Amino acid sequence: MDAHARRVRPERVPLNRAETAILATLTEAGGDVVGHRELCRAAWGSYVARGERHRLKSAVHRLRRKLDEGLTIQSARGEGYRLIPTDSTTTPRSTPTNPMKEAS
């Protein structure tokens, strides 16, 4: 994923300036939580407590819809957000078989 080129995998994803800034900031954090204020400053150049969290929440919601299954924006309640790369090639583990049961 290249946030500055607005590409996720090989496809170009239409992102507005704020979405691009939020995604770039989350990417640069390398999986660490990025605070609400920092994300708002990156996206809009300032942080005004009233209404900004809702504006940020809406932008993150739009980003989540646009990103593929290989990336997840995770909420860190009361703190901010983090970008989590997920490996779409892995499958959930199945329940291990019980060798004692199979022997009988």
Closest CA to 56 of 75, 29, 69: 75
- CATH at 79: 1.10.10.10
- Establish if 52 belongs to a structural domain: yes
- Establish if 2 belongs to a structural domain: no
pTM: 0.71
DSSP-derived 3-state class of residue 57: helix
Give me the domain span that covers residue 62: 7-103
> What is the tally of structural domains in the chain?
1
- Pair 59, 43: CB distance under 8 Å: yes
**pLDDT tens, position by position, 53-93:** 899 999 999 999 988 777 899 999 999 999 998 764 433 33
Quick one: which H or E segment has residue 72? strand 71-76
Cα 92 from Cα 83, distance rounded (Å): 21
- Establish if 78 belongs to a structural domain: yes
- Establish if 62 belongs to a structural domain: yes
- Establish if 1 belongs to a structural domain: no
